[in-house]
Structure 1
Amino acid sequence: MDQRLSLVTLAVRDLSATRRFYVDGLGWRPEVEAPGVLMLLVGEHIVLSLWDETEFEEEVGPIRRGEGLVPITLAHNLASREEVDAVLQTARRAGADPVSEAVDRVWGGYSGYFGDPDGYRWEIAWAPGELTEKLVPGA
């Protein structure tokens, strides 16, 4: 098996609100739209697939609920600290939960977080050195 990830699929409570956030608010372009599903090409070979909870459960199985946050984060890396701040502002204007401002991190980078309409946490980050070259197109 190749060492790669093709899709990240997340169940969402209100697909219309999720679409407004990602497409209208952040300006992302849908790759596939079908009843109960919104797919966004987020990299050269990777799709973020957002599914209405009912559609998700029909295909994947029952959703488990509980206290606290889902133990997953999604990350969007950029080439500079200034770009990190700008994207966090864009997300907040789109209605994101402003989880945290960007700060210097112990691992050497600079990042902050926002939450999407379903509470999924996005880390907006700049990473020093060669990691940026691997993660940011054209860096």
Structure 2
Amino acid sequence: MEQRISFVTLGVRDLVASRRFYVDGLRWVPELEVEGEVLMFRAGPLLVLSLWDRGHFEREVGTLADTTGILPITLAHNVSTPELVDAVLAEARAAGASEVAEGVQREWGGYTGYFADPDGFRWEVAWNPGPVGQLVFPPVADTT
């Protein structure tokens, strides 16, 4: 098996609310939309984020765990400066993010904050100056 991820699929309670947040609020453009069932976004060159209605998700994947508290997964969006962390967090808040943890300087040298989508999935917005951070950041276009 190749070392890569092709899809990240999240089972969501209210696909309409998720659409409103991601499409109307964050201005993401869907690659595929099946009303009442699934919403898919290109999230990278070889990566798709799929938001799947929980009922359809459960019928295919199996019974979902009943949990409380924060789900044990985060999604991350890396940016090129600490200031952009704050700007993306403000954009998420304006889009209706249910919770926003302001950006803070981390002991490992980066600057990060979090927001939650309508289902409580946590998104980390990060400026990571280290080598691993550079692995996931899009290359800067040469303007010379």
CA distance in 2 between counterparts of 1:57 and 1:32 reads: 20
Give the corresponding residue for 1:89: 90
* Residue 46 of structure 2 is aligned to residue 71 of structure 1: no
Cα deviation, 1:77-130, whole Å, max 9, x if unaligned, reads 011111111100000000002331000112211000000000000000000133
Contact 1:98 1:115 in 2 (8 A): yes
Query: The residue matched to 1:97 in structure 2 has which SS?
Result: coil
Q: Aligned residues, how many?
A: 139
CA distance in 2 between counterparts of 1:84 and 1:39 reads: 24
Contact 1:76 1:124 in 2 (8 A): yes
Identity %: 58
Query: The residue matched to 2:118 in structure 1 has which SS?
Result: coil
Give unmatched runs, 5+ long, in structure 2: none
CA distance in 2 between counterparts of 1:18 and 1:66 reads: 20
Give the corresponding residue for 2:12: 12
CA distance in 2 between counterparts of 1:7 and 1:107 reads: 29
Contact 1:99 1:115 in 2 (8 A): yes
**Amino acid in structure 1 at the alignment position of 2:6:** S
Q: How well do the aligned residues superpose, as a CA RMSD in angstroms? A: 1.1
Give unmatched runs, 5+ long, in structure 1: none
Cα deviation, 1:42-97, whole Å, max 9, x if unaligned, reads 10100100000111011111111122211000000011111111100000000002
Moved more, 9-18 or 28-37: 28-37
Query: The residue matched to 1:119 in structure 2 has which SS?
Result: coil
Contact 1:37 1:49 in 2 (8 A): yes
TM-score (norm 2): 0.92
TM-score (norm 1): 0.95
Give the corresponding residue for 2:34: 34
* Residue 132 of structure 2 is aligned to residue 135 of structure 1: no
Cα deviation, 1:1-58, whole Å, max 9, x if unaligned, reads 1000000000000000000100010010001111400001010100100000111011
